[in-house]
């Protein structure tokens, strides 16, 4: 029920908070979308958002979710390990 811009902002805040908390894997539910239009807009945009300069430093990988976690309508986002400051 949100615009793509709102969804992107919410996702970015969620991933930044999860990474700061040391979370390594999150589940992002995109939904299947309408079959005739190639799927949900969130599903199409998610890889682009995760590869953008603001989120790329946090993300290790994007993996399709297992059927019990949403299957084709969801993804696991694997987050990079936090690095301890040097010096």
Give the global pTM.
Answer: 0.86
For the segment 45-85, what is each residue's pLDDT rounded down to a tens digit? Answer: 999 999 999 999 999 999 999 999 999 999 999 999 977 66
Residues near 73 by beta carbon (within 8 Å), at least 6 away in sequence: 29, 30, 31, 32, 40, 43, 65
Q: Is 63 exposed, middle or buried, given 0-12, 13-18 or 19+ CB atoms closer than 10 A? A: exposed
Q: What is the pLDDT of residue 68?
A: 96
């Amino acid at each position: 029920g949100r615009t793509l811009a709102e969804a992107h902002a919410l996702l970015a805040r969620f991933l930044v908070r999860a990474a700061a908390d040391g979370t390594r894997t999150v589940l992002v539910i995109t939904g299947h979308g309408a079959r005739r239009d190639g799927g949900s807009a969130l599903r199409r945009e998610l890889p682009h958002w995760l590869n953008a300069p603001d989120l790329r430093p946090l993300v290790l990988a994007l993996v399709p979710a297992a059927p019990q976690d949403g299957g084709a309508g969801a993804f696991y986002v694997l987050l990079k390990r936090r690095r301890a400051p040097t010096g």
